[in-house]
Structure 1
């Protein structure tokens, strides 16, 4: 079984909230009005979403600082290091997710495929100790192609030494994760905790809104198939 990282194994939205709090403390001090703070957070998330998946995060903070002038403005040439050094530490992993992964890995190989910066993704994985649970971890910047390119999924199949029909991929992004794995003839389980409506032509093999439901796709006979 292969997993996406951000917004699947790890809650990226919560991590963005934590990073925003760090920026607020460092650059703005005490913002007393809750409505102003909430407006700033929503705008920060908007800028972050536009640059989601890109290594360069300077534009995110530059745009945010332009709209909400801070007491202390990070110099442009310090922004990337600030983001790389702080953001990975904003992530945590739910113990229930760990328990489910441990149950699954008793029966099948487990892997991660993630898009993003090698430095940041490795830091997230190390800081949450996910590296100790997975057989292989593939990061797009490291290998030279990213989801939905079928080559990144085929690379995982080769490294795991498995056939696509014996693999399930779990991810939150319909286009990159589900469409991408289907391009490599892998069944895709759409992780959709917020119950977002699927308005695309991509039809997942299955849809779940909690990790607990992954276990229902494994029976003793399925375990023998996926070994």
Structure 2
């Protein structure tokens, strides 16, 4: 892994920087949790009335939600969220007939709001005048693009590539090749920044794109995992380009 203070000559060769979206530019967990709770408020379901804390509700919801998302090939996202609310409310003994309304409210709130990772605006503002910027994200067009607009960051990017739109998801090399083609660039001209070793690192390695691991939780890396660069704060990305 290259020392951040020995990079001036190395980083001059990049023409573009491609970012992952969730948990790289946008904080997915905070966005999701806020939407889960806000949907309860929209549907007038009070946790206080049932003496249940927000933390408890979120913990139960996320347990069921993670189980149902494993069946995303069978159920639509709307149905998965509805089932997650149904199971959570039943588990916590909260009676309601509003699970469909809860799901609809969640999707509207989630798809039209955003919480960015720290220093995102500063980083993109610094990079945009000198580098072509793009996003590769797994997910749905109806969610990812509006969330970027809600965060006010969509205008920074020349290309926003969403897995649903092209039929391939990270770590598939096809989604990276597609993005390189749209940018008309070769792998050596691009740096990819992401938080997932399974999706971002694995995908970038398959197509020989240099990878910067945004290690936002300071996780220990296995010996065989060797990203080109590693940062634990997005602001440190700028040290590569000064």
Q: TM-score range by the shorter chain?
A: 0.7 to 0.9
TM-score by length of 2: 0.80
* Structure 1 unmatched ranges of 5 or more: 220-227
Deviations 1:157-189, CA, capped at 9 Å, x for gaps = 111111111211111110101110111110111
Determine which of 162, 179, 185 is the counterpart of 2:202. 179
C-alpha deviation, 1:218, in angstroms: 1.6
Deviations 1:132-173, CA, capped at 9 Å, x for gaps = 111111011011111101111111111111111121111111
Give the 3 Å change call, closer, same or farther, for CA 110–87 of structure 1 in structure 2.
same
- Three-state SS of the structure 2 residue aligned to 1:138 is strand
Q: Does 1:217 align with 2:240?
A: yes
Cα RMSD (Å):
2.5
Match of 2:25 in 1: 9
Task: Considering Cα pairs closer than 8 Å and 6+ residues apart, tell me whether 1 or 2 has the greater RCO.
Answer: 2
The answer to whether the 8 Å contact 1:113/1:137 transfers is yes
C-alpha deviation, 1:103, in angstroms: 0.8
Match of 1:121 in 2: 144
TM-score by length of 1: 0.84
Determine which of 95, 104, 107 is the counterpart of 2:130. 107
Query: Could you tell me how far apart the structure 2 residues matched to 1:64 and 1:139 are?
Result: 27
Determine which of 34, 37, 42 is the counterpart of 1:21. 37
Deviations 1:85-117, CA, capped at 9 Å, x for gaps = 121233133572112111112211100011101
C-alpha deviation, 1:42, in angstroms: 1.4
- Report the count of equivalent residues: 218
Q: Does 1:66 align with 2:90?
A: no
The answer to whether the 8 Å contact 2:64/2:88 transfers is no
* Structure 2 unmatched ranges of 5 or more: 1-16
